Chain A
Amino acid sequence: MSQTLAKKHIGVLGGGPWGIALATAAARAGAQVSMHTRREPPHHAGVHVTTDYAEIARASLVVVAVPSTVVREVLRALGDHLDGHHLVVHGIRGLSPDGLETVSDIVRKETPVRRCGALGGPVQAYELLRGRPSAMVVGSRFPEVTAAVTEAFHSPSLKIYSTPDIRGLEWASALVGCVAIGVGYAQQAGAGPGLLAALISTAVDESAKLLAMAGADERTMLGLGGYGDLLASIGLADRPEVIIGKALAQGRSLEDAVTDAHLRVEAITVIPRIVGFAKQHRVKAPTFDILAEILAGARPEALIPRLFA
């Protein structure tokens, strides 16, 4: 490895746990990192904190890690400082409420940037923070973006995989977030390994069909950014989606469950929209139907067996 080569400047948008984790991982891999956040910035070695978008725009690779609810405004503001040479990637697990746009669609709409990418895969924030070995996926049709992300994040403890199917990766990440709630719910409800495996496989199958309808490659759902990401949720008791699922299975309200999770969970707004999308395109997605019922307050014991009816 050419550890001695000076790594390039990267900008990170968002000072939440995920933004901090990404900034830390990049700094550890040797990049010069500027992070844009309006929160009280905790000090992190090698990360320069700013509230000025122009400073972020001085980096040629910008990583967006803000909640999906504000991503449009943030990109619009940042877009004033960007031009066609910037590379923009995002690590947001979500689809827009109006029309299920992916975040990269929003990047193209709100900024002059064309060369964009998405981050996904099973890697967890704490793994990035502590430098624990893990794997991340970058999706982009532009090899330059894949190369830039690899250069910025690749380290002995973080392996970067890539796919040209950016749309597939974005959809897979969003759907995995939804299904992870179901995983938590089933675990809490006492589902054994066999039932859990059946639940996951059924959900992956439905998700793959949904990806195809969304104009992506269904195989992306079967890879690290889909199946792989979902498998990680089994062992992750502290994954926010899993926490919410468990809380719901205990009979707690959605509001309480969200409070338990401490983090914003994009899946809560995505699930009902996926149900609508499936209906519109005549794709059978019973797992998502049931997830929507659970979120709407239904708690019948018989929900899980119904999946296999």
Chain B
Amino acid sequence: MSKAPIFGFNEHREEIVREVVNRVVAGTKDSLLVLNDAAYHETKRLETARRPHDVKEREEWRTLARSLGRMGDGERRRRLTELTERYAWDVAGNFNPRVYSLSKRLLPPLVTSLLQPTMFLRKPQELLNLDVLKAHVSIEGPIAKIQKLVQDGTAVFVPTHLSNFDSIVFGYALEAAGLPPATYGAGKNLFSNPVLSFFMHNLGAYRVDRRLRHNLYKDILKTYSCVLLERGYHSLFFPGGTRSRSGGIERRLKLGLVGSAVEAYARTLIAGKERRVYFIPATINYLITLEAETLIADYLSEAGKGRFIIEDDESTQLDRLFTFTRKLFDMRGAVVIRFGEPIDPFGNRVDDEGMSHDSRGRAVDPASYVKNRDGEVTLDATRDAQYTRELGEAICAGYESDTVAMSTHVVAAACFHRLREIAPAQDLFTVLRQRDVLTVPRDELARDVSAMREKMKEMEQRGQIRLGEHLRAASGGDIVERAARSFAGYHTARAIESRPNGIAIVDPNLLFYYQNRLAAHGLGWDTLAPPGMLPAVPVQLRSVGSPSTTSSGAAAAEGKTP
């Protein structure tokens, strides 16, 4: 396997930063506008700052803003160049091959120790046993094909994002799948921890300061990403932008950095060194999510616009992490990373040889998409933004079909469906108020769950979803049992509880979070469709033999809010 370009990053770092600075400065038509925008946003951000360093920075921005009008264009250009240089160096990462080979050995035990901290203390020798990790993180998808494609092309990994755990787990997955490391933008806050910073910095991560909102900084980030892609650096973006608050898969993406791929590809063509770019969607699926409670509370308080009152406090993070990892370690197959089918930047499927094919299977040259009517390759930001939009749709479609459903999701969806039937009104917040008012007999819930699973098997046949191993094989009762056990040990609020007369539905919020994973598939209640998108058509779930609910189920679906 040829060495990925990232191994030579340090030699080229200066060159890369130069290139970024030159492009950004040359591409800026109106330096007054750009500097003004930066000064405005920075002054606003630092408005209430108290730290001496921040106060000093604010005053510098104010001075700049005041003097911009009097400056000559030459002076403005000089200031623009200075600023761009400062930001570009701040963004640029580092890749230390020694740190990488060290971490290659350290990473599995590191992830293992995160998954099972007590093991550190009890059986340190087990840490080096990869099988332990394999049992808990499974990796699926067309891996041989991806391995082949990264030989000559540039891979852009675009996974779903649920948890802060994702980057660690995905980094492990790349390594375990025999794929080269990928560079990625990591929040600057993560660099404040010296140990983490050392690893991140030396593993090709670049720093993204999320506090900076101005266009110059965004432009620098995009250009940096573009230059790296042009040079063949495999990259990793979480195109959802932030962790999914609702627990649902991403259905609309933040495409800024993703969009740099089309330009990067066009530039390799113009330079006469075509280097193809392959997008690889992936899903990161958890039986339980570390931050589920915080995230769903966040989501509901925003969606409900004040109608929602957060009732429970979170316990301390360290405590939670510890319990979480122990819980996960209890369950086999609790984390599944599924790589999807690679596509080119124009949404076409890619075969083993790296050839693109349109939706009717015809071979098509990806270069043709960046050519104008005269057959010349051109750079065109507006055009590329449209390609990227459509690419985003293709990536989201991949998320849907590569979602790996687990028992917690299915049981949550079944419970939530029951809850909707007994709720006095059909709006989300009324349903969410039904705390601990419904207990479903075990065998009825088991029947609901296995009916849903059968539907999902049909959907899996049609390539619309994937089933986790346990979910595919277990009985309805066992699926309910596994979900109950998964919820029980970790979340402070119990989602469901096993009682003598059946399964009590205790915390609708958590169930809402977990059922949301299946909302886009029409298996859960879809209240998440982004503006301008129709909610998923509900899949008819009820098994024929369940007497109590057929009619009220239909009524519940009828009353659904649009």
Q: Which residues of A contact B (CB under 8 A)?
A: 8, 60-61, 76, 79-80, 83-85, 87, 108-112, 114-115, 141-144, 148, 212-213, 215, 281-282
B559 vs chain A, min Cβ distance (A): 10
The docked-state distance in angstroms from the alpha carbon of A115 to that of B387 is 9
Residues of B within 8 A of A111 (CB): 358, 360
Per a CB cutoff under 8 Å, which of B359, B364, B372, B390 touches A144?
B372
Per a CB cutoff under 8 Å, which of B358, B382, B533 touches A143?
B382
If over half of A's interface residues share one DSSP class (helix, strand or loop), that class is named, otherwise mixed; here it is loop
Per a CB cutoff under 8 Å, which of A83, A87, A112 touches B373?
A87
If over half of B's interface residues share one DSSP class (helix, strand or loop), that class is named, otherwise mixed; here it is loop
Cβ of B371 under 8 Å from chain A: yes
Per a CB cutoff under 8 Å, which of A8, A76, A282 touches B360?
A76
Known: A61-B373, A84-B369, A144-B380. A114 touches B360 (CB 8 A): no
**A112 pairs with B386, CB closer than 8 A:** no
Per a CB cutoff under 8 Å, which of A60, A108, A212, A281 touches B359?
A108
Residues of A within 8 A of B368 (CB): 83-85, 112
Known: A79-B362, A109-B359, A111-B358. A148 touches B373 (CB 8 A): yes
The docked-state distance in angstroms from the alpha carbon of A135 to that of B476 is 63
Most buried by B among A83, A109, A213: A83
Query: 28 A-B residue contacts at CB 8 Å?
Result: A8-B373, A60-B374, A76-B360, A79-B358, A79-B362, A83-B368, A84-B346, A84-B364, A84-B365, A84-B367, A84-B368, A84-B369, A84-B371, A85-B368, A85-B371, A110-B359, A114-B346, A114-B369, A114-B390, A141-B386, A142-B382, A142-B383, A143-B383, A144-B372, A148-B373, A212-B532, A215-B533, A281-B562
Total contacting residues, chain B, CB less than 8 A? 29
The docked-state distance in angstroms from the alpha carbon of A111 to that of B369 is 13
Cβ of B375 under 8 Å from chain A: yes
Residues of A within 8 A of B369 (CB): 84-85, 114
Residues 371-405 of chain B: 1 if any A CB is under 8 Å from the residue's CB, otherwise 0? Answer: 11111000010110011011000000000000000
Known: A85-B368, A108-B359. A114 touches B534 (CB 8 A): no
In the complex, what residue of chain B is closest to A141 when comparing beta carbons? B386
The docked-state distance in angstroms from the alpha carbon of A60 to that of B371 is 11
Residues of A within 8 A of B362 (CB): 79-80, 112
Residues of B within 8 A of A76 (CB): 360
Most buried by B among A111, A112, A213: A112
The docked-state distance in angstroms from the alpha carbon of A144 to that of B371 is 11
Most buried by A among B359, B362, B386: B386
Residues of B within 8 A of A110 (CB): 359-360
Residues of A within 8 A of B533 (CB): 215
A-B contact sample (11 more), CB < 8 A, given A84-B365, A141-B389: A76-B360, A79-B358, A85-B372, A85-B373, A85-B375, A87-B373, A109-B360, A114-B347, A114-B369, A114-B387, A215-B534
The docked-state distance in angstroms from the alpha carbon of A80 to that of B362 is 7
The docked-state distance in angstroms from the alpha carbon of A79 to that of B386 is 21
Residues of B within 8 A of A87 (CB): 373
The docked-state distance in angstroms from the alpha carbon of A79 to that of B363 is 11
Known: A61-B373, A112-B364. A282 touches B562 (CB 8 A): yes
The docked-state distance in angstroms from the alpha carbon of A43 to that of B360 is 36
Residues of B within 8 A of A144 (CB): 372-373, 380, 383
The docked-state distance in angstroms from the alpha carbon of A8 to that of B372 is 13
In the complex, what residue of chain A is closest to B348 when comparing beta carbons? A112
Residues of A within 8 A of B387 (CB): 114
In the complex, what residue of chain A is closest to B380 when comparing beta carbons? A144
